[in-house]
Structures are given as C-alpha cells and as structure tokens.
Amino acid sequence: MKFNTKTRYGLRTILELSLNENNREGILQKEISKKQEVSVRYLDNIIALLKASGLIVNVGGKKSGYRLTRPAREISIYDVYLAFEDEMAIIDCLLHEGECSRKKNCALKGFWCDLNNTIKISMKSMNMEILAENYRNKNDPGKVA
C-alpha cells in the first residue's frame, strides 16, 4: 500500500497550518511551500482540495493566508486522507462496488478487512495536534534527547 503524493503533501500542508494554528492571519501559500518543501504550483491543487473538504479556509480572500477550520486536535490523519481519496481500501474488493470472482470462497477477505480496519483506526486516532507536537519536539534545537 502506498499513499499518493497529494495525500502526503496534503498532510504536510495541514501539519504546517497546525504548527501555526494560533496565527489569526493564517499562513501564506509561499510560506507553506518553503517550510514543507512543496512547490507553490503543486500546492495550488492541494489547497483547493483541502478547502473543498472543509479542512482549511482563506483568512481574508485572495493573497491572504490559510488556516484550519477547526482545532488541530479535531483533525485526524484520516480526515486529511479523505480530502484526497474516496475511502480507505487496501484492496479493491473492500470497496462498496468492488467485485471479485472469488467472493463466495475467499479465505483472505476477512484478513484484508481486518488489516484495512486496523489502518483506518490508526489513522483516525492520530490527530494533527499530536503530529505538530512531535514535529516541534524533533526540531527544537534546545531540547536534549
């Protein structure tokens, strides 16, 4: 299983906004681009999808910064994932419309379903506030490990 680039960069974008969630003016796209090493051009699409999903908003119109629509502790990795993907399914037959010729006698479907649910639960349990704190702890030059 591999997460696509949009999902990974979307997480980095939300991380940057989480790190700055108390900034009422928001964070400019070029700042997000620089700090999270995502091209401004590619970030246009990421931001559009995050806005459409209701996770972020412009603070004051064009040329303004972005901020989260709710506290970072209320945004899970799974919420960000859903901004870019329809549903979590590690194999096609777990999707609602997925068809499999082995449907009636598949010995592995239960395993795949359990694994899929474990991944979802893990993603839902990790919120952006925790990730932001982990990031701060790893990047604070004054902290001794």
Q: Domain for residue 145, yes or no?
A: no
- Total domain count for the chain? 1
Tens of pLDDT, residue by residue, the chain (145 residues): 789 999 999 999 999 999 999 998 999 999 999 999 999 999 999 999 999 999 999 998 777 899 999 999 999 999 999 999 988 988 888 886 667 777 778 889 889 999 999 999 999 999 999 999 999 999 876 655 4
* CATH label of the domain that carries residue 110: 1.10.10.10
Q: Domain for residue 43, yes or no?
A: yes
Q: Domain for residue 95, yes or no?
A: yes
Tokens for 80, please give them: 């960000």
Question: Which residues span the domain enclosing 19?
Answer: 5-139
What is the greatest pairwise CA distance in the chain? 59
Q: In whole angstroms, how far apart are CA 17 and each of 1, 54, 90?
A: 27, 14, 29
| pLDDT in the model for residue 105 | 84
Q: Domain for residue 23, yes or no?
A: yes
Can you give the pTM of this predicted structure? 0.88
| Dihedral sign computed on CA atoms, order 125, 141, 66, 41 | negative
